[in-house]
Each structure stands twice: as C-alpha cells, then as structure tokens.
Amino acid sequence: MTNFRLATFSLITMAGLAMTACSPQTSTPPSTEVSETETNEAQAVMPAERFFTADQFTYANYQDIVVKHAAMDLTVDFDRKVLDGAVTIRFERLSPDVQTLTLDTKDLTIKTVELETSDGWTPATFAMGERDSVLGSAMNITVGAEAAQVKITYETSPKAEGLQWLSPAQTAGKEKPYLFSQAQALYARTMLPVQDTPAVRMTYEASLRVPDGLLPLMSASQDGKDADGNWRFSMPQPIPSYLIAIAVGDIKFKAINDTIGVYAEDYILDASAEEFAQTPEMEVANTELYGPYRWGRYDLLVLPPSFPYGGMENPRLSFMTPTLIAGDKSLTNVVAHELAHSWSGNLVTNSNWRDAWLNEGFTSYVENRVMEELYGKERAMMEQSLDMEGLKRAISDAKRPELTQLKLPDDMTHPDDAFTLVSYIKGANFLFFLEDRFGRDAFDPFLKSYFNAYAFESVTTEDFLAFMDANIRKDYPDAVTDAEIKAWVYGQGLPSTARNPQSDAFDKVATASARWTSGEITAAELPTANWSTHEWLKFLNDLPDLTPAQMKELDDTFSLTGTQNAETAFAWYMQAIKNGYAPAMPALEEFLMSVGRGKFIYRLYGALNDNGQVDMANRIFAKAKAGYHPIAQRRIGDILAK
C-alpha cells in the first residue's frame, strides 16, 4: 500500500510539473447511461481531481459559459455553394459574472443575432474579431445575465474549408451534385458559429432543405422528412463540435443487418456492403471487450474519392474513403478503427488536441484488438509490424522532437501536428506495453471501466494517468514504474520498453526479398502465390534501391503499375518515384487525378518533390487541385512550397 501511495503521488506530481498549462479541476461525477449490471463492472475509483489543459485552438470562453445544444435550420444551396439559414444555441453560465459568449467562426457571413429574453427574441450586440488564418474569427456576443438562447442567422462561404461541394461531373453518377463535410479538427467553425473545442459537448438537431432527388445525412439519428418537406435530424447524446457532419447527394442505402448498413452512390453500393459485411462482428467484438455500443445505429457512408481521409468517426455514421473497397476485405482495419472511435474518441474524448493520442492511440489499439478477434493473431501482428515501421519513419521525420511526445507541447502550431503516427502508433504501443505488463485479464476490464467512468466526457492525458493510478496501478503496484510511464507520455521518440511486433509471415517475406534482390532467385520465383495485401506491403515498403531493370522485372511479373488495391498501388508508386521508374508515371498521374485521400497523396507529392520531380508534381497538382478537398489543397500547397 505504501508503495502504491508513493507511486501515485509521484506520478501526479510529475504530470503536474511536466505540464505548465495543466491545473487540477474539481471532479465531476461520471455520467453513464448504462447501468452497472449491464456493464458488469466493479465500480471504478474516481481520482480526487480532474486535470485541465487549455485548448489553444479555440476563442471560446468555455470555462465561463458553455454551449449545450445547437438547433440548425439550413438550406443546402448547391447553386451558391453555401449553407444558408440559422442556428439557435442554448448555453449555460459556469461563472456568474460572464456577460459575453465567445464563439468560433471562420469565413461565415453573420446576418442577424438575437437573444431570447422575457420580451421574446430581441436583437443582440455582437462583434467579430480579426481573422486568423488558422483559427478564424472570434464572435463575441453580449448575452447579459439572463438569456439562455441566442439565434444567429448566417451563411457559410463557398470556400469553407470544412465543406466540399462537388459538381455532378465530379460524382460517379454524373447527374447530381454532392456535398460533404469534414469538421475535425478546426472546421466545424466554417459550418456554423460554435464553441469549436473538444472540451465542450453538446446535443444537436437539424432541419435541412435540399433539392429534390438528393438524400441528406448527418452524424445523428435520421428522423425523416417533416410535413413541410424539411429533413429532420437529432443527436441526443452530447458530442464535441468536431463530430458534427453532413453529406448530401444521390445516395442509396443497403442494410447489413438491422442496426448496421452502408450508404453510397449506386455504383459502389453492393461492393461496399460486401466489403464491410463483417462490421456487425466488429461491433460484437468491441462490445464484448469494452462495453455496450451507446449510439443506436451504426452506418457507414462511402464518399466520393476526394474524401481526404481513410475514414472519419462521425457518430452513428462513419465517413469512409472508397479506396477501401478492394474486393477482398484486406483494408477493413479502417472500419474497425472508425467503429472503435465509438468508445475511444466519441464516448471518451480528448479535451484538447495536445491529448490527441487519447483519441487516436486508444483507437488504434482497440482497432488492432478487434482485428485480432476477427482475423486472428497473424494479421493483427502484421498490421502492428507495418505500423511500427511507419512510426519509426514518422519519428525520424518529425518537424520538432517535441512532436514525438504523446502529450504534445503547448506551442504546437496546428492540430495537424497532433495527427501523426506518434499519436496513433506510439499511443497504441503505450497501451500494448501496459497490456503486456498488466496482462489482458486485468487490462481489458480496466479499459472498459475507463470508458464507462468517463462516458460522454472530455478528458486529458493526466486524467487517464490519474485514473490508472487509482485503479489498475493500485491493484498491481509493481507492474510498471513511474519512469516507464513518463518515458512513454512525456518523453520523445520510442521508449526502450516498446514491443517489437513479430510476424513469421513477414520474416519469410524479408528472406525471400533478400534472395531476389541479391540475384539468387528471379521475381517469378518469389513465393507470392498466397501473399496477402499485408505481405505485399511489407515486401514493397522494405525494398532497397532498385535498378530500372529490377523495377521492370517486378512490374512485368506482377503487373504492379495500375494495380487496383489502393494501398499496394501507393506502396509501388512510392518505390517508382524513389527509383525513377518512368513506366509507372502515367499510372501514378492517373492515381493522383482520381484519389484525394491524404495518406496517399501527401506522401506521393512529397516524394516527387524530394526526388527531383518538382515540375511533374506542380503540373499534376495544377490539374488535380480543383477536384481535391480544400483541406488537401492547402496541405499539398504547403508541401510543394517547400
């Protein structure tokens, strides 16, 4: 016991010392909708205090006054490429003296602002702050001491970074336009005035008017069309603003089971339902490990190819890239990932982007556990191994060493810096390390109790560490030391206690590859007959510098140029750029013209830039740019400016 107390005390002290912008807060009682019997959980010990880390990416005065609910009433205007209408915001004062509600906005046109008072809705005083290129403009509304609701009429900008408006020609069907949003991390404020910080959670509802023949969807319960022809949505669980999402298009639905289904354009609907057919099993695996799925339905929306991410965990409706539809379920870990966010991220949320690993590292860990459950240990280890190679590269490529910490530095300039493989894979590996030390029998119920204890709350790294101290570390005081934890969370690079993922299948690939590169065997003699996508990725990623003749031999033997699996194609084109293999360049160009997924295109443009192909990169970008999402346009612009 004495040991434990010392350990706990020193860890919290250590966290406090390491974090200048981190101060204790009063504990709030855990809110759980699910009863203890349902979760079958012993009551967790709640730490005596909560920790606070300021969100430097919001103007909101969310420590004094918080938004509780947003009701949107919007027309989706495809001709003008704007959302046009009003949002009514209900708020609560936390400090008695607060007179101003400060919201985040970016490129919104504010038309009127009214407060609900005892005289009804009356015009309110407000002032817009100067525009910052990252943060946008603060909107300061004088709310006085009484009002609890403000109604803002506004419209978005056609250039809103969180919205992509596709012309009919940019869709597969070619007949109808398409709109989709991407609010994470700082783009909800381009869609509506909002406290755009993950520290604040609110419920929302919406009423949307869209042109006939188009289906609107939101990250909410889809409540159908009302008598006036407006589409209604409601999100009764409190969520952070970055999970507000909308899509409108010629979208069809196919059920996978009673509570899970796929939305997509017609051309890819059946293939998507087949590719994602194991989503129900993933939900079962997740639920068995970490407790009930608390969001009602779970659907997947397969977006047009310009969607800039692999997936986005919008609640009840994950947004997915069509590049996952490989035909062989080889890329379904992205579904496992977005679904896992229903626990890590959406249920328990990082309260600021310096703690992004609480979302992405936990989720990458849970993803891998679910993959192991569904597909077995070998596939899970292959994915861990590929991820670990990526992490090592990310650590050596880091712009600053501080960006290789799990708790990111307080002078991080953009949340983009938080979404590197450090948060994802170093974060997941911290949990693999803890799992190895405590054992699954103790660690699995512990994580489940964490998701239950902080359900529908936003937390910091220090909250997690304190919860770990008060629970599993109290029971197993010798399993890990403070110094080991500190090295993972506040230290740079990869700690010496990191697991080394071993895969027999990958060892065989490495051996075969060495025999081919040394000239001992021909490409045709490589034992590829039963290689999975993962083995191909291992082989391609690890190739040494090759001669044009060797590249040609691989291509002639395996038809890699133009291959349909987007991950394999990406890995091959990276080698083609590195080795100056000209025959692959037209197919690479075609890939860059048709795929907007950032994971692929940022690195392909970066590799062209770094390998003396700046002109080619600029020429392709000039042609492809209009089809890319605003987020991708900005990122590639930055890459090519270097």
Q: In the complex, what is the shortest distance from the CB of residue 334 to ligand BES, in angstroms, rounded to a whole number? A: 4
Which is the catalytic residue, given 298, 365, 424, 605? Answer: 424
How many Å apart are CA 309 and CA 245, to the nearest integer? 14
Number of residues that bind Zn ion (CB under 5 A): 2
Q: In the complex, what is the shortest distance from the CB of residue 419 to Zn ion, in angstroms, rounded to a whole number? A: 8
Cα–Cα distances (Å) from 430 to 309, 422, 452, in that order, read 24, 11, 21
Q: Site for ligand BES (CB under 6 A): which residue of 162, 310, 427, 627?
A: 310
Residue 313 interacts with ligand BES (CB under 6 A): yes or no: yes
How many Å apart are CA 162 and CA 181, to the nearest integer? 5
Please confirm, yes or no, whether 338 is among the known catalytic residues.
Answer: yes
Number of residues that bind ligand BES (CB under 6 A): 16
Residue 388 CB contacts under 8 Å (≥ 6 apart), including other chains = 425, 429, 498, 500, 501
310, interface contact from Zn ion, ligand BES, none, CB < 5-8 Å by kind: ligand BES
Single-letter residue type at 127: A
Q: In the complex, what is the shortest distance from the CB of residue 360 to Zn ion, in angstroms, rounded to a whole number? A: 5
Q: Site for ligand BES (CB under 6 A): which residue of 51, 180, 375, 419?
A: 419
Of 419, 560, 427, 399, nearest in space to 489 by CA = 427
Stretch that binds ligand BES, among 171-179, 271-279, 334-342, 549-557 (CB under 6 A): 334-342
Alpha helix stretches (DSSP H) within 1-136: 2-18, 36-39
Tell me which residues in 345-364 interact with Zn ion (CB under 5 A): 360, 363
How many Å apart are CA 247 and CA 229, to the nearest integer? 18
Burial of 225 (0-12, 13-18, 19+ CB in 10 A): exposed
Beta carbon nearer to ligand BES, 366 or 526: 366
Beta carbon nearer to ligand BES, 341 or 448: 341
469, interface contact from Zn ion, ligand BES, none, CB < 5-8 Å by kind: none
Residue 395 interacts with ligand BES (CB under 6 A): yes or no: no
Q: In the complex, what is the shortest distance from the CB of residue 408 to Zn ion, in angstroms, rounded to a whole number? A: 16
Q: In the complex, what is the shortest distance from the CB of residue 597 to Zn ion, in angstroms, rounded to a whole number? A: 14
Beta carbon nearer to ligand BES, 406 or 468: 406
How many Å apart are CA 368 and CA 499, to the nearest integer? 14
Three-state DSSP state, 399: coil
Residue 334 interacts with ligand BES (CB under 6 A): yes or no: yes
The two beta strands, 221-225 and 149-155, are unpaired
Q: In the complex, what is the shortest distance from the CB of residue 311 to ligand BES, in angstroms, rounded to a whole number? A: 5
Count other Cβ atoms within 10 Å, centred on residue 273. 20
Q: Site for ligand BES (CB under 6 A): which residue of 341, 369, 426, 635?
A: 341
Reply yes or no: is the peptide bond before residue 185 cis, omega within 30 of 0.
yes
Residue 298 CB contacts under 8 Å (≥ 6 apart), including other chains = 259, 260, 279, 283, 316, 318, 339, 342
Stretch that binds ligand BES, among 303-311, 378-386, 443-451, 496-504 (CB under 6 A): 303-311
Beta carbon nearer to ligand BES, 294 or 337: 337
Axis crossing angle, helix 427-438 with helix 357-375, rounded to the nearest 10 = 60
8 A C-beta contact, residue 326 and residue 315: no
Alpha-carbon Rg of the chain, whole angstroms?
Answer: 25
Please confirm, yes or no, whether 424 is among the known catalytic residues.
Answer: yes
Q: Site for ligand BES (CB under 6 A): which residue of 486, 508, 578, 599?
A: 599
Burial of 175 (0-12, 13-18, 19+ CB in 10 A): exposed
Beta carbon nearer to Zn ion, 333 or 363: 363
How many Å apart are CA 160 and CA 92, to the nearest integer? 28
Which is the catalytic residue, given 338, 383, 462, 484? Answer: 338
8 A C-beta contact, residue 566 and residue 327: no
311, interface contact from ligand BES, Zn ion, none, CB < 5-8 Å by kind: ligand BES
Q: Site for ligand BES (CB under 6 A): which residue of 309, 353, 450, 506?
A: 309
How many distinct helices (H) and strands (E) make up the chain? 21, 24
| Tokens encoding 578 | 């590195």
Q: In the complex, what is the shortest distance from the CB of residue 411 to ligand BES, in angstroms, rounded to a whole number? A: 20
Tell me which residues in 176-215 interact with ligand BES (CB under 6 A): 184-185
Q: In the complex, what is the shortest distance from the CB of residue 424 to ligand BES, in angstroms, rounded to a whole number? A: 6
Give the residues lining the site for Zn ion (CB under 5 A).
Answer: 360, 363
Active site residues: 338, 424
Interface positions with ligand BES (CB under 6 A): 184-185, 309-313, 333-334, 337-338, 341, 360, 419, 424, 599
